[in-house]
Amino acid sequence: MQSDKSPPIIRAVTSTLFEENAYLVAIEGGKQCVIVDPGLEPDPIIEVADRLGWTPAAILNTHGHADHIAGNEAMKNRWPEAPLLIGAGDASKLTDPVGNLSAGFGVPLLSPPADRTVREGEVLDLAGIQWTVLDTPGHSSGHVVFVAKELSPMIVLGGDVLFNGSIGRSDFPDSDPAALVESIRVKLFSLPDDAIVLPGHGPGTTIGHERRTNPFVGETAS
């Protein structure tokens, strides 16, 4: 692991509805960033990027649910050259209001289609950081997380898999509770204790804290 890099600059933008966290991540002094899961209030995301002088190297979706993809169109309108990336298993949700769950709320939502899909083990060199893709199904069938393994501590763009003191919902049509638990215990809990998880909802946490204390999947869970 490369540990000589300065910690990245991370800015979170939380949408009021659903309290979904979008993130902008860049290296110190960098002119590019990644934008992760732009939600239902895209204007503040654009304002942060413009204020800091950042251009997105990519727009990353951890999964295809509406609260995480609602800002994709605004991002692509502002930065049409920035590729939109999502896990192969959730790509169809971008253009399917039933699949992305927006139809159920009576407000069908469409995102631009993915420019590229990603799969387990791919390493993406974006904005000066290498992001390793991990397939983490359970909350949705094609959920992925992006891990900056070269950083110390590692950064995990975690979506709706592991939360501070909780885990993602697994009661949606393509959810799988057993797969969600396996994704956390096999994929995420194999990362170092100090790895920082930036979740799709709520405050950040660390792998070690959740491994020890998470009431659903931690060491004390039944």
- Residue-range domains of the chain with CATH: 9-213 (3.60.15.10)
Burial class (CB in 10 A: 0-12, 13-18, 19+), 1: exposed
The whole-model pTM stands at 0.97
Instruction: Check residue 4 and give its pLDDT.
Output: 58
pLDDT higher at 196 or 221: 196
- Kindly report, residue by residue over 41-83, the tens digit of the pLDDT: 999 999 999 999 999 999 999 999 999 999 999 999 999 999 9
Judge whether 130 and 91 are in contact, CB under 8 Å.
no
- CA Rg value for the chain: 16
Mean pLDDT of 168-192: 98
Mean pLDDT of 131-135: 98
- Mean pLDDT rounded to a whole number for the chain: 96
Phi, psi of 114 (to 5 degrees): -65, 140
Tokens of 1: 């692991």
DSSP state for residue 10 in the 8-state scheme: E
β-sheet bridge partners, residue 13: 22
196-199 and 166-167 as β-strands: parallel, antiparallel, unpaired?
A: unpaired
List, edge to edge, every strand of the sheet that includes 55-61.
Answer: 9-14, 21-26, 32-36, 55-61, 84-87, 116-118
pLDDT exceeds cutoff 50 at 210: yes
Residue 6 neighbours by CB distance under 10 Å: 9
